[in-house]
Chains A and B, each alone.
Chain A
C-alpha cells in the first residue's frame, strides 16, 4: 500500500514536464496522493505516540498534539485544494496549487514531529512532501510579476 503510494507519487511527478501546467485529472491525482501521504504520516505518528505513552506520557502527548495540529492544517488545505479542482474550469485552476502548497505546512509539521520523536519518516510521506512541493511550485504562480513594477 505504502509502496504503491510512493510509486504513484513518483509516476505522477515524473510525468509532469518542468514548467508545464497541470490539467484537472493531474491536479486531482496530486491532491489525493498528498492526502494519502498525510494519512500515512498521521497513522505513523499515532502509532509512535501510542508506543511512547508507556515510558513518557508527556512526550507522547506532545508528539500526538503536534501531529494532530499538522494533520488539521493539511486536511483543511487539501479540502480547499479539492474544492478548487472541482471548480477547475470556474477559476479553480488558479487556486488548487496554492491550497496544495498550504497543505505542505501541515505535512511538514507532522513529519518534523516524527523526526523529533526519533521515528523514521515513511517514504510515502517524503514522496508526498516532494510531490506537493514540486507541483505547488508549478501551479501556484507568484503574484509579483503581475504588477509590472
Chain B
C-alpha cells in the first residue's frame, strides 16, 4: 500500500514532463510559426554576410 502511494506520488511529480513529451510528439499544437520561421531568416543571414564581406 505504501509502495503504491509512493509510485502515485512519483507519477504525479513526473506528469508535467510526461505531458510535455506527449504534446511534443502528437499534440496538434506542437508545430509553431516560430519553429518554421526562425529570426533571422536565411535571406537576412546572407545579407549580413554580404555586408561583412564574407562569401
B33 touches A64 (CB 8 A): no
Q: How many residues of B contact A (CB 8 A)?
A: 20
B31 touches A42 (CB 8 A): no
- Residues of B close to A67: CB separation below 8 A: 41, 43
Which residues in window 11-26 of A have CB below 8 A to B? 25
Q: How many A-B residue pairs have CB under 8 A?
A: 78
Q: How far is the CB of A83 from chain B (nearest CB, A)?
A: 9
Question: Which secondary structure characterizes the binding site on chain B?
Answer: helix
Question: Which secondary structure characterizes the binding site on chain A?
Answer: helix
Task: Take A61-B51, A82-B32 as given contacts and tell me if A46 and B37 are in contact as well, using a CB distance cutoff of 8 Å.
Answer: no
A-facing mask of B13-55, CB < 8 A → 1, else 0?
0000000000000001101111011011111111100110001
Give 15 pairs: A residue, B residue, CB < 8 Å, sorted on A. A28-B28, A36-B36, A42-B43, A43-B42, A46-B41, A50-B46, A50-B55, A53-B46, A53-B55, A61-B51, A64-B44, A64-B46, A68-B40, A68-B47, A81-B33
